[in-house]
């Protein structure tokens, strides 16, 4: 899969987040999201004319007073330029060209990547005429649209699809599991990878990466064999002083999308921070297996309850998806690295697990009989048959006479019962209710 990344850039309050919501087809407030919980704040999946792509919204990261806006925008636009395949530059027809627009345009004129100039809030003929002013930005043709109503977004998306670069499919010769090491900067990803690889370089062979910013390394040691996708130490522009949150999301997107399992490395001395959560939910949203490694555990002062308390705090942030392996390691002292590998391989096996329809029905129908779905409007829901779907990730379908009356709490009950019986630790599960 050669997925494209689209970055939406521009100064604050031009409608970037509204366009982002429209592209990912969710009505979720992004700019007003609670600080730290950034699951859907800056990353989403979109599709147009059969082509799927990822969307990054840079708008939520500009903070501070007016005098630092320009510096913050510069950081994020440079990162977007560095990572994205196509850039959508959003401007506001009501306010016209501002000095901040000119700053962004000056950066974008220097790049060779496709840049689509999108003039927002154009919802009548008069504003269509006003948009002519944006030719002065020196970015060529522009597209007019209204992000609130959706007017004009079709033409913008048609041009976006046309602008995607042709990417040759990369053949991976060996069908090995792909484990991506992800996490916020300075969490110890590089140290973890170096500790795994060691000094015996003969154990690794480079394989062409499936993306330009993630490198596959074949790992064959301690009885394990897999491709390790390294997202650490891959920054190409040393001069970019990144906003840590934006940087770590941009670096993680491709690696997560192309991996089977994500090894999320967090810094024990800092705790499970907002950006760690963001990267975790990126992996969950893409239905990848996840293992959490709490690195630098040797630097934390501990008592008999430290590990349990720390683990409980992390799981509280992960609710309702709490069935995730959490290991406390030290890349520096190589503490529990072998257990970390074992846990990762086990999650990979869990993700591949297939349950026979007969065994699944035998167990789950008894579970349902013991606690059936609650009656709605005097009608009783009956589930008579269920099965696992033949998909890459664990998905289960339950056939009912009134599927519309089976709500999320009962789906969660079914998922919990599945997890009690079968080991799906670290793997997201999808539950579907269909009409029999």
Residue positions in the annotated binding site for GTP? 10-17, 57-61, 120-123, 183-190, 230-234, 295-298
Our measurement of the distance from residue 408's CA atom to the centroid of its chain's CA atoms, rounded to an integer in Å, reads: 23
Could you please report the per-residue DSSP string of 131-151?
GGGGGGGS---EEE--TTT-T
Which of 265, 266, 326, 334 has the alpha carbon at shortest distance from 298? 334
Task: Name the residue with tokens 């596959």.
Answer: 216
Q: 113 exposed, middle or buried (CB, 10 Å; 0-12, 13-18, 19+)?
A: middle
Q: What is the DSSP string of 209-225?
A: EEETTEEEEEEEETTEE
H/E stretch holding 383 reads strand 383-388
Cβ-contact 373, 405 below 8 angstroms: yes
DSSP 25: T
Q: Which of 97, 102, 100 is nearest to 71 (CA)?
A: 100
Contact between residue 322 and residue 292 where contact means Cβ atoms under 8 Å apart? no
Give the residue ranges of the annotated binding site.
10-17, 57-61, 120-123, 183-190, 230-234, 295-298
Give which of 334, 186, 351 is closest to 265, Cα–Cα: 186
């Amino acid at each position: 899969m050669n997925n494209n990344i689209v970055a939406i850039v521009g100064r604050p309050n031009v409608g970037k987040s509204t366009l982002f919501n429209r592209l990912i087809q969710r009505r979720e407030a992004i700019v007003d999201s609670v600080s730290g919980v950034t699951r859907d704040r800056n990353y989403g999946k979109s599709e147009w004319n059969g082509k799927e792509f990822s969307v990054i919204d840079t708008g939520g990261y500009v903070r501070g007073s007016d005098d630092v806006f320009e510096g913050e925008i510069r950081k994020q636009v440079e990162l977007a330029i560095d990572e994205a395949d196509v850039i959508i530059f959003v401007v506001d027809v009501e306010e016209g060209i501002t000095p901040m627009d000119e700053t962004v345009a000056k950066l974008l004129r220097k790049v060779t990547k496709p840049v689509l100039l999108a003039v927002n809030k154009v919802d009548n003929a008069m504003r269509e005429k006003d948009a002519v002013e944006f030719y002065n930005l020196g970015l060529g043709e522009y597209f007019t649209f209204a992000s609130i109503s959706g007017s004009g977004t079709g033409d913008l998306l048609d041009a976006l699809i046309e602008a995607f670069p042709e990417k040759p499919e990369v053949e991976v010769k060996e069908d090995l599991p792909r484990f991506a090491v992800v996490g916020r900067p300075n969490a110890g990803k590089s140290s973890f990878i170096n500790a795994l690889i060691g000094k015996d370089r003969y154990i690794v062979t480079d394989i062409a990466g499936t993306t330009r910013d993630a490198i596959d390394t074949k790992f064959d040691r301690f009885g394990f064999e897999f491709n390790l996708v390294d997202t650490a130490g891959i920054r190409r522009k040393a001069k970019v002083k990144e906003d840590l949150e934006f940087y770590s999301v941009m670096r993680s997107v491709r690696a997560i999308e192309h991996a089977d399992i994500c090894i999320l490395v967090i810094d024990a001395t800092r705790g499970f921070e907002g950006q760690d959560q963001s990267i975790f939910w990126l992996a969950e949203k893409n239905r990848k297996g996840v293992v959490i490694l709490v690195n630098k555990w040797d630097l934390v002062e501990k008592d008999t309850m430290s590990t349990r308390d720390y683990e409980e705090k992390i799981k509280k942030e992960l609710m309702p998806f709490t069935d995730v392996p959490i290991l406390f390691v030290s890349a520096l002292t190589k503490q529990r690295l072998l257990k970390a590998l074992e846990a990762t391989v086990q999650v990979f096996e869990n993700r591949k697990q297939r349950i026979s329809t007969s065994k699944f029905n035998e167990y789950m129908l008894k579970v349902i009989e013991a606690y059936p779905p609650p009656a709605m409007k005097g009608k009783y829901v009956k589930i008579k048959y269920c099965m696992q779907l033949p998909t890459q990730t664990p998905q289960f379908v339950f056939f009912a006479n009134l599927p519309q009356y089976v709500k999320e709490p009962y789906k969660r009950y079914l998922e919990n019962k599945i997890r009690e019986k079968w080991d799906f630790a670290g793997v997201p599960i999808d539950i579907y209710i269909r009409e029999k």
